[in-house]
Amino acid sequence: MKFVDEAYIDIVAGDGGNGCVSFRHEKYKEFGGPNGGDGGRGGHVYAVADPNLNTLVDYRYARRHEAKRGEHGMGSDMFGAAGADITLRMPVGTIISDAETGAVLYELLEPDQPVMIAKGGDGGFGNLRFKSAINRAPRQKTPGWPGEKKNLKLELKVLADVGLLGMPNAGKSTFIAAVSNARPKIADYPFTTLHPNLGVVRVGPEQSFVIADIPGLIEGASEGAGLGHQFLRHLQRTRLLLHIVDMAPFDDTVDPVAQARAIVGELKKYDAELYAKPRWLVLNKLDMVPQAERAARVKDFVKRFKWKGPVFEISALTREGCENLVKSIFQHVHTVQLASQAPAEVDPRFAAPDLSKG
For the chain, the domains span 1-156, 162-341
pLDDT in tens, 7-20: 899 999 999 999 99
Q: Band the pLDDT of 116: cuts 50, 70, 90.
A: very high
* In the predicted structure, residue 190 carries a pLDDT above the cut 90: no
Domain 1-156: top CATH class: mainly beta
* In the predicted structure, residue 225 carries a pLDDT above the cut 50: no
Give the pLDDT confidence score for residue 356 in this predicted structure: 46
pLDDT in tens, 29-64: 777 789 899 999 999 999 999 888 877 888 888 899
Q: Band the pLDDT of 228: cuts 50, 70, 90.
A: very low
Q: What angle do CA 243, 245, 250 make, to 5 degrees?
A: 155
> Is the model more confident about 197 or about 333?
333
Instruction: Dump strand ranges (E) for 188-233.
Output: 197-204, 207-213
Give me the DSSP letters along 259-286. Answer: HHHHHHHHHHHH-HHHHHS-EEEEEE-G
> Which pTM was predicted?
0.68
Q: Band the pLDDT of 188: cuts 50, 70, 90.
A: very low
Averaged pLDDT for residues 237-248: 86
Residues sharing a CB contact under 8 Å with residue 113, sequence separation 6 or more, in sequence order: 48, 49
CATH code linked to domain 162-341? 3.40.50.300
Q: Band the pLDDT of 350: cuts 50, 70, 90.
A: very low
CA distance 207 to 154: 32
